[in-house]
């Protein structure tokens, strides 16, 4: 078993070296950017340094291995108000059976209507359109030992940009968490969004066909022009490898102080670092974090409360992310609210 765990750890460490071995970031070249948007106000409040920490239902996003550390069945609902009238919803549910845990999750990014503009007209045409993104996932996690857990997720992905401009695809997440049993020191790693390049379906000339051969000199749609639709280029999805560690700085009775640090390597940007902490006293939680090497370094903060009831144990959390010049004021900033239910 120890050899198996060691081999799996080495494989996970080597994968990003092969799939993401770029000497410079290809900023703005990846599709399905909504896959980067973190969930769970607890995780966000800790600066998204959460891959080694996660031990509940939000593991479906951060690191599926954390699902194996959950107790019983759980439910999760999250809402985020982004800037520019963009909204993100996330729901998930898990079921535990012995050392195995199964989960379903859904992510939906949507926004207000936008005006249609054309090259011929300066300004709006009077028409509007909406764009949206969807991800639906199935996760499985297993606790191989009391110290080591492993998990994986398969996801269906869809993005709708305008009318018939859309794409359907899939991706996988795979992760692990190892607890050293020393001051709750945990090492977590996760490879997210491992999947094929995507191609958008675009019919520019309106003849009902895409990826036409413009060199056959045919005018299939009888518009007086040779077919305009060349083969669409493929776009990578935001493959992300995360490696982090967390540990208790203090723990006594019903109180603790937890700290975490994490490295993220994403296919279309420089490496980034996240650091955060969580302080618990009784049923109250205080959190803070900082994100380094982004376009604008940012801090995060949040709080939460645990409410035991006869039906379930509820965790209600809130987090705020400072986005610098992207926000006019605190009210119009990035706010997250999430609710977890442990049955």
For residue 79, what is the domain's CATH number?
2.40.160.60
Residues facing 304 on adjacent strands: 285, 317
Q: Output phi, psi for 10, to 5 deg.
A: -65, -40
Question: What gap in Å lies between CA 302 and CA 314, rounded to an integer?
Answer: 17
Q: Which of 301, 307, 305, 303 is nearest to 286 (CA)?
A: 303
Lowest mean pLDDT among 164-168, 206-210, 297-301, 329-333: 206-210
Q: Please report whether residue 12 resides in a domain.
A: yes
Quick check: is 294 in a domain?
yes
For residue 294, what are the domain limits? 2-118+136-200+235-342
The bridge status of strand 334-342 relative to strand 313-321 is: antiparallel
Is the residue at 225 inside a domain?
no
Residue 151: is its pLDDT beyond 90? Answer: yes
**Using 50, 70 and 90 to split pLDDT, how confident is the model at 84?**
confident
Q: How many domains does the chain have?
A: 1
**Residue 332 belongs to some domain of the structure:** yes
Whole-number Å distance between alpha carbons of 64 and 150 = 7
Q: What is the pTM of this model?
A: 0.82
Q: What is the pLDDT of residues 223-242, one digit of tens each?
A: 656 555 556 678 899 999 99
Residues with Cβ within 8 Å of residue 315, at least 6 apart in sequence = 42, 56, 304, 305, 306, 307, 339, 340, 341, 342
Task: Examine residue 217 and state whether it is found in any structural domain, yes or no.
Answer: no
Residue 223 inside a domain? The answer is no
Distance, CA of 15 to CA of 201 (rounded, Å): 30
85 has pLDDT over 90: no
pLDDT band, very low/low/confident/very high, at 161 (cuts 50, 70, 90)? confident
Assigned domain for 131 exists: no
> Which pLDDT band, with edges at 50, 70 and 90, does 126 fall under?
confident
**Plot region of 293 (φ>0 → left; ψ -120 to 50 → alpha; else → beta):** left
In a domain, 312, yes or no: yes
């Amino acid at each position: 078993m120890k050899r198996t765990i060691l081999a799996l750890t080495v494989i996970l460490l080597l994968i990003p070296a092969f799939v993401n071995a770029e000497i410079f970031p290809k900023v703005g070249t990846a599709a399905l950017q909504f896959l980067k948007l973190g969930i769970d106000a607890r995780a966000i409040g800790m600066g998204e340094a959460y891959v080694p920490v996660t031990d509940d239902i939000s593991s479906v996003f951060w690191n599926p291995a954390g699902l194996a550390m959950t107790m019983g069945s759980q439910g999760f609902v999250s809402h985020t108000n982004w800037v520019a009238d963009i909204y993100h919803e996330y729901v998930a549910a898990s079921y535990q059976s012995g050392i195995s845990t199964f989960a379903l999750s859904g992510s939906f990014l949507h926004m207000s209507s936008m005006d249609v503009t054309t090259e011929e007209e300066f300004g709006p045409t009077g028409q509007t359109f909406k764009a949206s993104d969807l991800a639906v996932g199935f996760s499985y996690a297993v606790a191989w030992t009391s110290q080591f857990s492993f998990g994986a997720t398969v996801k269906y992905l869809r993005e709708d940009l305008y009318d018939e401009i859309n794409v359907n695809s899939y991706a996988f997440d795979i992760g692990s968490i190892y607890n050293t049993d020393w001051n709750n020191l945990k090492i977590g790693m996760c490879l997210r969004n491992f999947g094929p390049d995507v191609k958008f379906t675009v019919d520019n000339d309106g003849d009902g066909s895409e990826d036409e051969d413009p060199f056959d000199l045919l005018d299939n749609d009888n518009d007086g022009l040779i077919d305009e639709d060349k083969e669409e280029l493929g776009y990578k999805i935001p493959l992300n490898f995360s490696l982090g560690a967390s540990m208790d700085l203090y723990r006594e009775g019903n109180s603790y102080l937890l700290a975490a640090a994490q490295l993220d390597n994403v296919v279309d940007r420089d490496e980034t670092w996240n650091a955060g902490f969580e302080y618990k006293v009784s049923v109250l939680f205080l959190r803070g974090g900082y994100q380094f090497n982004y376009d604008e370094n940012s801090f995060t903060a949040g709080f939460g409360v645990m409410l035991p009831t006869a039906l379930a144990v509820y965790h209600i959390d809130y987090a705020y992310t400072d986005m610098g010049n992207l926000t006019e004021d605190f009210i119009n900033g990035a706010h997250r609210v999430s609710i977890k239910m442990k049955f």
